[in-house]
Amino acid sequence: MREHQTIVHPLQPLFQADSKILILGSFPSIKTREYGFFYGHPQNRFWPLLERIFEESLGTDIEERREFLLRHHIAVYDVIYQCDIIGSSDSSIQNVVASDLSPIFKVADIKNIFCNGGTSYRYYRKYHEKKIGVESIQLPSTSPANARFSIDDLYNQWKIIKDNI
């Protein structure tokens, strides 16, 4: 049986002054931590979904993905900075230390916050919403664990982000 490990978030938030929307995940998966950038699991549908929404094609190059997000005024980070977790399982998360989102809001012109999945939404509401004073919109998770949603289902819900930039 696998045991909980205490993991500190290895990535910095991605944002700039003209970022208009913030997409928040829960906590980076093992594959994402190995890759070194957000949504690095090859089966995560985040990148194919954004490619479809913005009608662009991207490779797996981190710098290309960074530039894409910034060019489209999208900031990304996660709601959890540190936690005890088994593997990449959101349901195993314990002993949460919330991320500090204040640097993003000090610099960026964030108009809307979108949470990638229920875990992100739950922890955003618990740790961040009152402090920031901005409600978030929950979108279905792009994680491969969310097999209930097809790419078309995700697209129909996620295309709202383009209207909010």
- What's the CATH code of the domain at 91? 3.40.470.10
DSSP letters for 50-109: HHHHHT----S-HHHHHHHHHHTTEEEEESEEEEEESTT-GGG-EEEEE---HHHHHHS-
Residue 84 has pLDDT above 90, yes or no: yes
pLDDT tens by residue, 117-160: 999 999 999 999 999 999 999 999 999 989 899 999 999 999 99
Parent domain of 11? 5-163
Q: What is the pLDDT of residue 134?
A: 93
Mean pLDDT of the chain: 96
Residue 1 has pLDDT above 70, yes or no: no
Domain tally, the chain: 1
Residue 5's pLDDT band (boundaries 50, 70, 90)?
A: very high
